[in-house]
A and B are shown apart, each in its own frame.
Chain A
Amino acid sequence: MRELTYGQGIKEGMRIKMLENPDVFIFGEDVGLFGGCFGVTSGLFEEFGEKRVRDTPISEGAIIGAAVGAAAVGLRPIPELMFVDFATVGMDQLVNQAAKMRYMFGGKLKLPMVVRLPSGGGVAAAAQHSQSLEAWFTHVPGLKVVYPSNAQDAIGLMLTAIDDDNPVIYLENKTLYAVASQVEDEVKPIPLGKANIKREGSDVTIITYGKQVYDSLKAAEMLEKDGIDVEVIDLRSLYPLDTEAIFESVKKTHKVVIVSEEAKRGSYAGELAAIIADECFYECDAPIKRVCALNTPIPFSGNLEAYVLPNADDVVQAVKSLF
């Protein structure tokens, strides 16, 4: 075992594949000389050169669109935008092009590309640099969506995402980049659609991903003192989704709390609740609860932002409301 930060994990996943396959290359906003807005690609420009780690103009449409085109002719691009919020500028290329080309063309095209998008709030970056837009991506048929919470998953999911022949949205939480965790010496690819039970429990299931895995584990510890035994599931992959792990857990605990950093209305958390209600309604002996951000843009001021974003106390409160 060794210790790596989340950011280093993302980089290692890309680096392994770049060493293995000359068709894998990175381009995006400040990924080269600068090493990425959050330092994730630092050193790769020096190691692989400008052909494979290329700075682009600030042109999100061009970045995502060029990835679509490059993937269509057989490469495996990894485009990066500085913030998930900027994906909205390139959304046509992602939603109308990347997600649909294979289907529209009758399955005759492969688009292997991994779009890296730093997400989430908590860094006083205000409304246009702090969003959690996973529901936008999971809503669109044709896109796969992953969201690692730690270095090992970051590597394993990246290895799989790069090898995947479909467009994969790779969401990263920007408050986790510097968070270190233990990583196996040789990390294996993690299949998409395979959740990770972070903590086993029998009284209630918390379903979460990304940064909220930490909040949920903290809440679980707090709840343990009250005699509530919490199971925490880290989804890792939002689509494909490990429904089997979810249903099994619900059948065991009969209570569900879903935790995400999204604005609650129209959230992916809502989709999870609907899936559980569809398939496991009679297994639930309490309402399915969601702990999310409030339905507001993310404010700048620290106390407002902390209020808008969900935290461990909110998770504790939601769990307790079920008993």
Chain B
Amino acid sequence: MKISNETIIEMYEKMVKIRKFETRAMNLFAEGQVGGFVHLYIGEEAVATGACESLRDDDYITSTHRGHGHILAKGGDMKYMMAELFGKETGYCKGKGGSMHIADATKGILGANGIVGAGHNIATGAGLGIQYKGTDQVCACFFGDASTNQSTFHEGLNLASTWKLPVVFICENNGYGISVSQARHQNITDISQRAVSYNIPGITVDGNDVFAVFEAVQEAVARARKGQGPTLIECKTYRWRGHFEGDPTVYRPEGELEQWKKKDPIPRVEKYILDNQVMTQAEMDKLNEKIDALVEEAVDFALASKFPDISSAVEDVYTDIVEEGRSR
């Protein structure tokens, strides 16, 4: 497949955006400016980027607790994401959700999710909605290796395959379910094998190769749009950080992280870009500077924003009922 220069540059930009956003979030957490549970996507950028490049604005995604990369790749705005991490009223969720629950319905983002495996059935339902309405949209469902041990994975794939729903199941196999390595949580190496049970295509790709992810998802999306049902795509990748910020990662064998760092998805694209004269080094540098500035703008925006008024705590539980507050 010939990938246009424009697409390559767009994917490069998104990957760098994710890396820089996440690195800044990591530092903000370390400085104590951002609290709660923060799960970073550093090292896995090629998966969200390659996948979302195949999606249209009106397509849907479901995300996970490690959701920042998906949100950015689907077109989420850094400013509102950063403000949400700070718990500010200008954040995507008005400070109610935090890092783990960022959503933007206007971009088809059906939400990051704190429950492992919750997305499989929600994505299946989005696929049902699309099929029902008769449009050619799709829903991409992102999930980790460990979530494929939840019943929801099997329930979702079964229903989506039986009803031929337009869902692309994208497994980010980063080798760990929290602290438990894949070999200790399931008896298979290639999760794509599980597609056999549902009689749908299942493939494994190098999740650190953005082009490989892009091509695989392109094909799956095309099938889904034609009404040919779901695909299971396993992207083998690795999370550089702990499960959450503050995780001492005592469970990682020595040298494993370093091995994966050699397969960093970003320099791989940079090399391709230079070798094929898609951009010059100077152009890439300029793009990087632009993104640095965007990240700083997002932090400034978050810092300048207010914390939500406490009266907002009782709003948004329902569309039509505001719950009772308390006198303090």
Contact = CB atoms under 8 A, between A and B. Distances in A.
B101 interface: yes
Given A58-B117, A299-B313, A308-B313, A126 B36 contact: yes
Interface in B237-291: 250-251
A29 B178 CA distance: 9
B119 interface: no
Contacts of B151: 59, 61
A125 B101 CA distance: 10
B179 A300 contact: no
Given A58-B185, A128-B101, A303 B250 contact: no
B149 A59 contact: yes
A313 B328 contact: yes
Contact of B114 (A33, A128, A301): A128
A126 B310 contact: no
Interface string B87-104: 110000101111011000
Q: Is the interface of A mostly helix, strand, loop or mixed?
A: loop
Interface residues on B, range: 35 or more
A49 interface: no
Interface string B174-191: 000111100011100000
Contacts of A55: 179-180, 184-185
Contacts of B163: none
A299 B184 CA distance: 34
A96 interface: no
B312 to A, nearest CB: 7
B5 interface: no
Interface in B288-328: 307-308, 310, 312-314, 317, 323-328
A317 interface: yes
Interface in A281-323: 294-297, 299-304, 307-308, 313-314, 317
A303 B98 contact: no
A304 to B, nearest CB: 4
B160 interface: no
Nearest to B244: A37
Interface in A132-182: none
B180 A300 contact: no
A123 interface: yes
Contacts of B97: 126-127, 300
Interface in A25-66: 29-30, 32-34, 37, 55-62
B317 A297 contact: yes
A64 to B, nearest CB: 12
Contacts of A296: 313-314, 317, 323
Nearest to B87: A301
Most chain A C-beta atoms within 10 Å of own C-beta, residue among B84, B147, B326: B326
A30 B185 CA distance: 11
Interface string B20-48: 00000000000000011100000000000
B3 interface: no
B300 to A, nearest CB: 19
Given A296-B317, A299-B96, A301-B88, A30 B115 contact: no
Interface in B85-134: 87-88, 93, 95-98, 100-101, 113-117
Contact of B101 (A34, A59, A300, A307): A300
Contact of B115 (A56, A89, A295, A317): A89
Nearest to A264: B324
Contacts of B117: 58, 89
Interface in A72-91: 82, 85-86, 89
Interface in A87-144: 89, 123-129
B146 interface: yes
B95 A59 contact: no
Nearest to B116: A58
B150 interface: yes
Contact of B95 (A128, A304, A308): A304
A123 B36 CA distance: 6
B184 A294 contact: no
A62 B186 CA distance: 13
Nearest to A317: B327
Nearest to B152: A89
B250 A34 contact: yes
A294 B314 contact: yes
Nearest to A82: B178
A89 B118 CA distance: 9
A123 B312 CA distance: 20
Contacts of B250: 33-34
Most chain B C-beta atoms within 10 Å of own C-beta, residue among A33, A128, A295, A304: A304
Interface in B153-183: 177-180
Contact of B310 (A124, A295, A304): A304
Contacts of A62: 149
Given A30-B180, A58-B150, A301 B307 contact: yes
Given A29-B178, A58-B177, A34 B251 contact: yes
Nearest to A302: B87
Interface of B: 35-37, 84, 87-88, 93, 95-98, 100-101, 113-117, 146-147, 149-151, 177-180, 184-186, 250-251, 307-308, 310, 312-314, 317, 323-328
18 contacts: A30-B178, A30-B179, A33-B251, A34-B179, A58-B149, A62-B149, A85-B115, A124-B35, A126-B114, A127-B97, A294-B324, A300-B84, A300-B93, A300-B96, A301-B87, A303-B308, A304-B308, A308-B313
Interface of A: 29-30, 32-34, 37, 55-62, 82, 85-86, 89, 123-129, 294-297, 299-304, 307-308, 313-314, 317
**7 A-B pairs with the lowest CB-CB distances in the bound complex, closest first:** A300-B98, A301-B87, A301-B95, A128-B114, A124-B36, A34-B179, A57-B149
